[in-house]
Amino acid sequence: MRPNIVLIQADQLTAMVLSMYGGKTVKTPHMDDIAENGVTFLNSYCNNPVCGPSRASMMSGQLSSAVGCYDNAGELLSSIPTFAHYLRYIGYRTCLSGKMHFVGADQLHGFEERLTTDIYPSDFGWTADWSQQEEPWAPSRMSLRSIVEAGVCKRSLQIDYDEEVCFQAVQKIYDYARLPEKQPFMLMASFTHPHNPFVTTQEFWDLYDHDKIELPGVPHIPIADRDPWSQRYAYTIREDEHNVTEQDLRNARHAYYGMVSYFDSLIGRILKALDDGGFTENTYVFVVADHGEMLGERGTWFKFLPYEWSARVPMIVTGPGIKAGYVEEKGVSLVDLLPTMTELATDGKGIELADRIDGRSLVQMMHGDNSGRPDDVMMEFTGEGVYAPALIIRRDGIKYVHCRTDPPMMFDLKKDPQELHNVAEDPAYADTASDLQREVDNRWDYDRLERDILQSQKRRLFVQQALLKGKWTGWDHQPFVDATRAYVRGAIDPNTTATKALRRLPFVAEVPPHNPRQGKPAIDLRPKR
């Protein structure tokens, strides 16, 4: 039996707060257990620190520039193969529960089933517009309102959504367990927690002592003293509109920690369902995030930036044959998931890919062997806050950031993990900076990429305005539930008792009658007249 694959994804979960990445406060017993029994990729990154492009990269195994998905309104073309296509092709059931930021008519991208709608718009309304250089506001109207209003809630939109995502994912696992044919499955559960606004229920708020919520390691940097990218980003998210007090900051961090613990509890529900269904021993479970969260470090919030809190994400995995408790320090990224999954699904044989990909399989590293693997990661950012492509290489502990309109940035992460000292112009790093710039020039056709992005923005902005005229027709996924086949319907399945028995988990074989009926009843049952 081929192994099953479960991919659990958070939205906006920075690796920096988790215990397996050095965090001291956040309580995540289920993720801790996965790390203890599996592999932690210590230097794991998204390939673009914003939702849509990151997810497009992850699914395709290619950088977002290669698939033309530049910002949160970027369309992943139906013709681009994803890990769901490949796994489905070789015989896997493929199912998605949760959010993916798919924009356009294709809301499946290789998934055979999608159990929920999305939580965010699937249209061109969030297209970045580099022509608006004097007013660089995010089209989603992001602001620090969600920081100054952070705290406790009874219920939230995020909880509404993630409860549905988890319920549907768990139900699907039980459905798979009760199927007579044991076809392998790939299930993705993609949650919106711990994305802002930062609000959590009393249950998860009370896990933490408010007075012991730590403040950022890098305190507030005035906007005027930040690098040009961070300056523009501050205005992109309207940072200047709110004054974040120390109490606001502590409230937001406290709520975020609660949201992370809530996400961890959802992981626990999925793990329990896998165990109940008898799948644990033959299932690989990956836990990742699409990007991180600045969480007040440097005085800024959310994502969109090249810094570690924004770009570094968790990647932990457990499953059969994995080296338990292993911590891999070489750099990896989300594009590596596609070749990893296809190798696991084919017992190491792999599959002929229809496209050139940027990712490399992690299977060898999952068994504790990183020999022959370079320590490098490629990242991009092509959305709000920059006005030309930002291209990023992290190699051997050095992070290099190139954007045509800005001075280069380079950080020695081993000596300067908080990224306070830009050494791009430091004579001691001149050779390294020159080598990395040369690699940027070789890997990307900068002029062409910039032209493609500008043309894409122009087209999408026009199309969105045109579609807003007259009757609006959305691209949103509409989950269909066939009530005629939901439970028991006499027209197609009259044996109610047998149907209920078949849906029991674990299955119990039919107990034969103690007194098998032979012919007519022993007494006369005809009505008396």
Q: Name the token pair of 367.
A: 């068994």
What are the E-state strand segments in 269-424? 283-289, 315-318, 326-328, 332-333, 376-381, 390-395, 398-403, 409-412
Beta strands 398-403 and 390-395: pairing type? antiparallel
Q: Name the token pair of 89.
A: 């092709």
Tell me which residues are annotated as active site. 51, 101
331, 395 contact by CB (below 8 A)? yes
Sequence-distant (6+) residues with CB within 8 A of 44 are 15, 288, 312, 313, 314, 315, 331, 332, 333, 334
Q: Give CA–CA dist 315/43, Å, rounded.
A: 9
DSSP state of 238: T
In Å, how far are 28, 113, 466, 484, 485 from 481, measured between CA atoms? 34, 11, 33, 9, 9
Q: Give CA–CA dist 354/351, Å, rounded.
A: 9
Please give the angle made by the CA atoms of 246, 249 and 253, to the nearest 5 degrees. 140
Please give the angle made by the CA atoms of 260, 122 and 201, to the nearest 5 degrees. 25
Beta strands 332-333 and 326-328: pairing type? unpaired
| CB crowding 22-38: b at 16 or more within 10 Å, else e | ebebbbbebbebbbeeb
Q: Give CA–CA dist 330/290, Å, rounded.
A: 19
| β-bridge mates for residue 301, sequence order | none
DSSP per-residue letters across 120-167: S--SSTT---TT--SS---TT---THHHHT-EE-S--HHHHHHHHHHH
Q: Give CA–CA dist 157/154, Å, rounded.
A: 11
Q: Name the token pair of 277.
A: 């269904």
The CA R_g of the chain, rounded to the nearest whole Å, is 25
DSSP per-residue letters across 48-68: SSSHHHHHHHHHHTS-HHHHT
- Stated length of the chain: 529
280, 1 contact by CB (below 8 A)? no
Sequence-distant (6+) residues with CB within 8 A of 337 are 7, 58, 61, 83, 286, 288, 359, 362
264, 28 contact by CB (below 8 A)? yes
Q: Give CA–CA dist 7/288, Å, rounded.
A: 8
